[in-house]
Structure 1
């Protein structure tokens, strides 16, 4: 029988309570995961030096671990043979073995493509097709192929959730959607190196458009916490204000819109189709640490996947609204001459002047009519903005 590897040996203790002594202190919790990048993850963690509970999961890198101890016998695991028994105390993994098994290694962002991804099927908001979401909480084997897939895209949906959005906050999850799938990167577990190993390159790529709703907090978070400069962004919150200005002849609304309002307004989704976003806000209010808890709830992952995927459809609908006037002008430009008498058209010389044709001058008339209509429909704030009722 082949001897167990160091990581396999420690994996036999998954689900048991262990104590970890690091260069920073002593911690106790339930062993949740040991990945091939030589890191160990505990849940239900207690900082023994303070006696306080650590929210969510805690990641320990191999180079900081001094000793690993367990209080339970892992022999109950199905069909596992103890090729290598514990030491005489029966409850301690040797310091040398633990440090060897958890020794950090360089992450290869070009991992093999022929890996089986853990796709989870969930119904789309339209009910017509399925969505693939892939949770990436370790670097092997899915991280490399995910980065390669993202680098080959032209447009991505981008969203994130964080604990305490401030300079002292913590980014928990980053959702990125393509046309065919959604990747959810567990930043809480993967740590800052997730950006250096490929995500930063994707987020800073000026050839890849990122669709975000309210890019301000995320862009600020990425820059100050991870030195990532988010580039080439289509912000759906900005687009909504721009479209409103077009439709009202130049007025601004008195407030920006939420992603829920935008999805309802531009995709004509019923309240039941966007109710999951209300649910998201509710669970975040009831449990602010929900995004730090591990394992992540399937319902939460589905919710996050659907939100970021709908940003792609929202962008297309907004672009149609932005170009509505342009399309109208082009139609007028074309039909204005097509409807002239043929003899007039044939006898007319090509107009070489730079004067704006009367067909294009209609934009001024259209804007004036829209302003007059807007003043009839909306109340005006002292700042001159229109009060748009929440949907």
Structure 2
């Protein structure tokens, strides 16, 4: 597999000919070749009409009939030598599932022009940074994330199960949100740092519903998540405790959890639309970048709120234990050695509370035919007052700034594309990161 990747990388900046199954024929310069046979070309020209396309153009693997060198194109608009889509070299990656059948991708990516996005959005001391190349920002971002103890992680794309298309990965620290453009960075982003972070057991990853992420990362990039706190699982555990042992008929999306546990106004949660194809658009719309950042920036605070909720009974019982010696010192001293390990009446209150909660849940919720409580959706359009004490600030109104200024003090140097693709690059440090930023917990 490594030999195949090296072979595909050798075509970098080569001028090639591409014939599609639809009959269209193009010539362009190779920017990237993905393992699923997808081509990303620049300076693309339609051989039949002579039309020139600005920026980059994506050709999906299942659409390509054959490819060849752009040299010596004959009178019929085809080179003398071509390679079939099912050529032996490309078939080495045939273990990948046909994306057309499994994720219903667009026929082709919208035309776009990317001079190298380095945009950042700041709100006080919190910012998000878009990373679409291995120059300037990639290494400082990886180094900063590796120093954290807790991070929020999310992914965006089409399908996101098994071998479907992963377009973006969002990683949030306490002070920054990094948006990694996986469509442009490719698997090199994982080999050069993301896999190390995601598999590091010393970094706690806060994720809402890790099922799709785990399946997608393992299948596409052979990356296995470790040390995960799933907020969707924690929300179900909280519901189970609050209802005295009943389970809900459904799980909650992230928006509902944020409204329910953080009391965040639903109107401020500008999450991603129902059309996943928007993730293919380049340049990525500003509102989509903002939505992706907001989808992970609250995860760390949500984890703390859920931990507080899950531990509330425990904390209450400990407080009761602490007050026993003050309220009933004589009774406590009268305990014999044989009865000291008997379950105290204070802990038996757990059973009483569970019974009371079950009775309340039976009145509050309806039950379906399999014995699960029907959990109504929260009215996300309504305002919910935050009764919790003020904590850390969050992105509410994100404003654009120049991303190059964000890491202007970084010691990282621009990494040549060929070297960045073939070997890890961890020689640089992010001098702008302070010790205070590193202490995530």
* TM-score relative to the length of structure 1: 0.68
The match for 2:16 among 10, 22, 39 is 22
SS of the equivalent of 1:173 reads strand
Distance 2:332 2:341 in 1: 19
- C-alpha displacement at 1:32, in angstroms? 9.8
Tell me the equivalent position of 1:373. Answer: 360
Is the 8 Å Cα contact of residues 30 and 41 (structure 2) preserved in structure 1? yes
Change (3 A) 1:152 1:351: farther
Tell me the equivalent position of 1:324. Answer: 312
- Structure 2 gaps of 5+ residues are 1-12, 20-24, 33-38, 60-66, 72-116, 379-441
Change (3 A) 1:332 1:196: same
Tell me the equivalent position of 1:73. Answer: none
Tell me the equivalent position of 2:370. Answer: 383
Distance 1:347 1:355 in 2: 14
Is the 8 Å Cα contact of residues 16 and 30 (structure 2) preserved in structure 1? no
Question: How large is the Cα RMSD of the aligned pairs?
Answer: 3.6
Tell me the equivalent position of 1:265. Answer: 260
- Structure 1 gaps of 5+ residues are 1-18, 34-39, 69-116, 124-128
Tell me the equivalent position of 1:120. Answer: 120
- C-alpha displacement at 1:167, in angstroms? 3.8
Equivalences for 1:185-264 in 2 at 5 Å? 185-264=180-259
Distance 2:44 2:266 in 1: 39
SS of the equivalent of 1:161 reads strand
Is the 8 Å Cα contact of residues 57 and 189 (structure 1) preserved in structure 2? no
- C-alpha displacement at 1:374, in angstroms? 0.7
- C-alpha displacement at 1:228, in angstroms? 0.3
Equivalences for 1:280-291 in 2 at 5 Å? 280-281=272-273, 284-285=274-275, 288-291=276-279
After superposition, give the CA deviation of every residue in 1:141-173 in whole Å (9 maximum; x if it has no partner): 211111111111111100011123344421100
Q: Mark the structure with the bigger radius of gyration.
A: 1
SS of the equivalent of 1:120 reads strand
Equivalences for 1:74-223 in 2 at 5 Å? 118=118, 120-123=120-123, 129-223=124-218
Tell me the equivalent position of 1:305. Answer: 293
Distance 1:357 1:264 in 2: 38
Distance 2:325 2:57 in 1: 69
The match for 1:353 among 331, 335, 340 is 340
Aligned length: 302
Is the 8 Å Cα contact of residues 153 and 205 (structure 2) preserved in structure 1? yes
- C-alpha displacement at 1:219, in angstroms? 0.6
Change (3 A) 1:365 1:345: closer
Distance 1:250 1:229 in 2: 32
- C-alpha displacement at 1:290, in angstroms? 1.7
Higher RCO, 1 vs 2 (CA within 8 Å, ≥6 residues apart): 2
- C-alpha displacement at 1:321, in angstroms? 0.6
- C-alpha displacement at 1:303, in angstroms? 1.4
